[in-house]
């Protein structure tokens, strides 16, 4: 029996795809260890994984409740700012080293799985990089859109490279280089000048958890393989009876979700509720409870902490979401129209791709008012071409092979 170590960094949208891989690998007889934030301990236990935490539940709470987490330019400082980033990086590396069985282990890490890359360099353990979204790859030929800069099609490649160089040199590397180099030196490795560039991609194998038709570029790493969207929304958790009853009680509602890490969604959920009142549409709000949920919801709007997207979205008229790659993939598979409010990270890039596919419209956070959302929803639901495009992409996704056997085969070849 071999050991598979999963090292996702982030919220449910970052963790669940790798958990799906763990379930597949455990089904093939391998032992699985999940190394990630403390709140995912119960999820690991549910699937029979060993678990090793990075940081505390308080660390995760502080991160997800930081209002700057969703700011288009300050979000990176939340993720990589001192002292939390260095402490969590050291935690991840220590847990990883303790879990490795020499000669019998493969490590799978997300785009921010820097501890795994250090372990690969220091210990020679096979490490596979996973990129859930195209925005994590930094292509010059097919550049991602960000919340602050939109690369124009007519810009020459040298201008695009200069932008990437500037972002790495003046924004990302100053935050990451010190902690990563101190970890490397402690592991007997030399310091590096560039951290967030090509080094973060495993030279052994890179897996793109999105299909070629969603994004591809000639300057992607040569060791990158597309496997397709890994859609995993905890199917062992059934649709709550209240949600099932609400879906069956009237016309298809509009679902609203801004991601599991969203704790600052109060004005956006209020705007969506106002839009439902203006249009007469029914609404299904899927989000953690708390003061971000509008009080005294009318009978035509239901709130639930959780419901599996794969079961709910095909029964909805549309979905309003933040543009996270997990929700994006589930909505494409469901064949539902999408209204996207991108805030930070990969969200603006996913929104732009969905618009190009003809299945979505975008309303930016500063314009996300009840009146604007009502107008955008009305236009989106009246757009027959959007409905046809959504149905076509659902058929395309249904025809694709299951990506999990492809991932499991790739990992077993390394083992």
SS3 of 15-47: HHHHHHHHHHHHHCCCEEEEEEEHHHHHHHHHC
The yes-or-no verdict on residue 261 having pLDDT over 80 is no
1 exposed, middle or buried (CB, 10 Å; 0-12, 13-18, 19+)? exposed
Say which residues have a Cβ less than 8 Å from residue 49's Cβ, sequence separation at least 6. Answer: 6, 19, 22, 26, 32, 33, 34
Q: Find, among 202, 221, 234, 228, the residue nearest to 22 by Cα.
A: 234
Bin 124: left if φ > 0, else alpha if -120 < ψ < 50, else beta: left
Q: Which two tokens stand for residue 166?
A: 């500037």
Is the pLDDT assigned to residue 263 strictly greater than 70? Answer: no
**Residue 59: how many other CB atoms lie within 10 Å:** 18
DSSP 255-282: EEE--TT----HHHHHHHHHHHHHH---
Q: Which of 54, 94, 59, 56 is nearest to 78 (CA)?
A: 59
The pLDDT score that the predictor gives to residue 79 is: 79
The alpha-helical segments, DSSP class H, found in 260-346 are 266-279, 309-312, 325-334
Which H or E run contains 140?
none
The CA distance from 36 to 413, in Å, is: 25
Q: Can you tell me whether residue 128 is helix, strand or coil?
A: strand
Domain ranges of the chain: 3-228+401-414, 241-399
pLDDT tens for residues 272-312?
Answer: 999 999 999 999 999 987 788 989 899 999 999 999 999 99
Q: What is the pLDDT of residues 306-340, one digit of tens each?
A: 999 999 999 999 999 999 999 999 999 999 999 99
Instruction: Please give the residue that has the higher pLDDT: either 120 or 233.
Output: 120
Pick the CATH number of 241-399 from 3.40.50.2000, 3.40.50.300, 3.20.19.10, 2.60.120.10: 3.40.50.2000
pLDDT tens readout for residues 70-92:
777 777 787 787 888 899 999 99
Task: Give 3-228+401-414's CATH code, choosing from 3.30.1490.190, 3.40.50.720, 3.40.50.300, 3.40.50.2000.
Answer: 3.40.50.2000
Q: Which two tokens stand for residue 351?
A: 């929104």
Residues 385-415: tens digit of each pLDDT: 999 999 999 999 999 999 999 999 999 999 8
32-58: per-residue pLDDT in tens? 999 999 999 999 999 999 999 998 888
**Domains 3-228+401-414 and 241-399 alike in fold:** yes
Residue 17 has pLDDT above 80, yes or no: yes
3-state secondary structure of 226: strand
Please answer whether residues 38 and 87 qualify as being in contact, where contact means their C-beta atoms are separated by less than 8 angstroms. Answer: no
In the chain, what are the helix, strand and coil shares in percent, each to the nearest 5?
A: 50, 15, 40
pTM: 0.93
Element at 338 (helix H, strand E)? strand 337-340
Q: What confidence score (pLDDT) does residue 125 get?
A: 96
- Give the model confidence (pLDDT) of 125-154 as tens digits: 999 999 999 999 988 888 888 777 777 778
Q: Would you call 93 exposed, middle or buried from its count of C-beta atoms within 10 A (0-12, 13-18, 19+)?
A: buried
Give the torsion through C-alpha atoms of 236, 241, 246, 247, to 10 deg.
40
The distance in angstroms from the start CA to the end CA of the chain is: 10
What's the CA gap between 68 and 207, in Å, rounded?
Answer: 30
**pLDDT tens-digit map of 355-384:** 999 999 999 999 999 999 999 999 999 999
Residue linked to tokens 């919340």:
147
Evaluate whether 268 touches 366 at the Cβ level (below 8 Å).
no
pLDDT at 76: 77
Residue 187 DSSP label: T
Q: What is the pLDDT of residues 156-214, one digit of tens each?
A: 888 888 877 887 877 788 888 999 999 999 999 999 988 888 899 999 999 999 999 99
Q: Give CA–CA dist 257/123, Å, rounded.
A: 41
Q: What is the pLDDT of residue 167?
A: 77
| For the chain, percent of residues with pLDDT exceeding 70 | 99
């Amino acid at each position: 029996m071999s050991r598979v170590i999963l090292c996702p960094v982030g919220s449910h949208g970052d963790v669940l795809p790798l958990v799906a891989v763990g379930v597949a690998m455990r089904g093939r007889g391998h032992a699985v260890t999940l190394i990630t934030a403390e709140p995912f301990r119960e999820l690991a236990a549910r699937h029979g994984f060993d678990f090793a935490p990075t940081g505390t539940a308080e660390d995760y709470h502080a991160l997800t409740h930081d209002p700057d987490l969703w700011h288009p330019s300050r979000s990176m400082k939340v993720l990589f700012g001192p002292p939390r980033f260095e402490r969590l990086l050291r935690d991840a590396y220590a847990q990883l080293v303790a879990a490795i069985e020499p000669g019998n282990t493969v490590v799978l890490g997300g785009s921010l799985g820097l501890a795994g890359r250090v372990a690969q360099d220091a210990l020679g353990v096979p490490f596979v990089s996973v990129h859930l979204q195209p925005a994590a790859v930094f292509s010059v030929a097919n550049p991602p859109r960000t919340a602050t800069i939109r690369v124009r099609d007519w810009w020459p490649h040298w201008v695009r490279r200069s932008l990437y160089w500037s972002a790495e040199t003046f924004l990302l590397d100053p935050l990451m280089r010190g902690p990563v180099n101190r970890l490397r030196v402690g592991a007997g490795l030399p310091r590096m000048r560039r951290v967030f560039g090509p080094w973060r991609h495993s030279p052994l194998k890179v897996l793109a958890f999105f299909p070629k038709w969603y994004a591809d570029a000639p300057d992607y790493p040569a060791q990158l393989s597309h496997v397709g969207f890994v859609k995993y929304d905890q199917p062992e958790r059934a649709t709550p009876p209240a949600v099932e009853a609400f879906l069956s009680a009237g016309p298809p509602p509009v679902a609203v979700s801004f991601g599991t890490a969203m704790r600052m969604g109060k004005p956006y959920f209020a705007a969506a509720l106002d839009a439902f009142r203006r249009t007469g549409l029914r609404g299904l709000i899927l989000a953690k409870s708390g003061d971000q949920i509008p009080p005294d919801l009318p009978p035509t709007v239901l709130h639930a902490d959780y419901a599996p997207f794969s079961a709910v979205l095909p029964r909805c008229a549309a979905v309003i979401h933040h543009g996270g790659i997990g929700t994006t993939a589930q909505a494409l598979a469901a064949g539902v129209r999408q209204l996207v409010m991108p805030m930070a990270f990969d969200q603006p890039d996913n929104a732009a791709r969905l618009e190009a596919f003809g299945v979505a419209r975008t309303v930016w956070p500063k314009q996300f008012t009840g009146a604007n959302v009502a107008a955008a929803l009305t236009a989106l639901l009246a757009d027959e071409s959007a409905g046809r495009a959504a149905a076509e992409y659902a058929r395309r996704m249904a025809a694709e092979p299951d990506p999990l056997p492809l991932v499991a085969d790739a990992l077993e070849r390394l083992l």
